[in-house]
Amino acid sequence: MHLGELTLVRTIGQGRWQHPFHEHANHVRILARDGNLELSGSATNVTYTSGLTGDAGATGRGLAGLLMFNTDTTPGESFDGIFYFTGRGLNWDPYGHHPGDTADPLASLSCTPDVNGYNSGATGAINFMEWCQDHNKPVQVNPFGDVPAGGPATLPDPNVFTNGPWYSGSPYLGPDANLRATMPACVGNPYGIAPGNPANAGCTTLNPANLQLNPADERGWAFMWHSHNEREITTNNVFPGGMLMMMLVDSREFVIDESM
């Protein structure tokens, strides 16, 4: 999924055990159980809108479903829920923006907040739906690459620790920001996927070569979704396995194939 998108979670309990399933990165808002919407008993209608330009919204009875840290998968029952992630409240810029960058136009994109605080007007930009309050905020004290300095964190040396199979190589989102964050001088993006940011074969990077799980043209954030009954996240006692998966949140540089 991309930042700002809604993901429908539909779970059906077909077995005989209850599974306390946990979705990292955000809670899940329960919409319905066994196909029946959970609605408020109030007679006052509520208007729901995304805040996007041209969205008139919808008016009806208010939703009353719980916001759940663990979603309960119960034998013989089902639920529908909405998972939503925007990066709001991180207190740093996930795209590594900083003003005045002339080497890479994607490093100095603007962020204009809508009434809800999101960059919803820039529908064609890779930072569409960015939380503007964190725009240009640094996370690193003294970064190695072309990202803002003066933040609270000093990252570990990439030469002395092992990357997990889903780690993008930096705390930043998307191939452009990951590339800028991990090299001192790179005029363009060697993957050549963003307009105005041409390929440059001279760029080098210490980013991991995880070509299948989180490849160089994706570099998303991976959040584990798994059963909180820990013995269910292994297969034949091998971790990871069982009831465990990863939700990748991607920059809009990466096109998600929804035809599959």
- Specify the pTM: 0.82
Q: Position 189: which residue type?
A: N
Burial of 154 (0-12, 13-18, 19+ CB in 10 A): exposed
pLDDT of the residue at 209: 60
Distance CA(242)–CA(82), nearest Å, equals 23
Give the SS3 label for residue 119. Answer: coil
- CA distances to 30, 92, 143, 178, 218 from 254, in Å: 29, 21, 25, 13, 5
Q: Position 231: which residue type?
A: R
pLDDT of the residue at 217: 85
Number of Cβ within 10 Å of residue 4's Cβ equals 21
pLDDT of the residue at 202: 43
Query: For residue 8, what are the contacts with CB-CB under 8 A and spacing of at least 6?
Result: 80, 81, 82
pLDDT of the residue at 47: 85
Number of Cβ within 10 Å of residue 152's Cβ equals 10
Q: What is the pLDDT along the chain (260 residues), one digit of tens a residue?
A: 999 899 999 999 888 888 899 999 999 999 999 999 999 888 888 888 776 767 788 898 888 889 999 998 889 999 999 999 999 989 999 999 998 777 788 999 999 999 889 999 998 899 999 999 999 999 999 987 889 999 999 988 766 777 777 888 889 999 889 888 876 555 555 544 555 555 544 455 555 665 667 888 888 999 999 999 888 998 888 888 889 999 999 999 999 888 86
pLDDT of the residue at 200: 47
Give the containing element (helix H, strand E) for 177.
helix 175-181
pLDDT of the residue at 195: 53
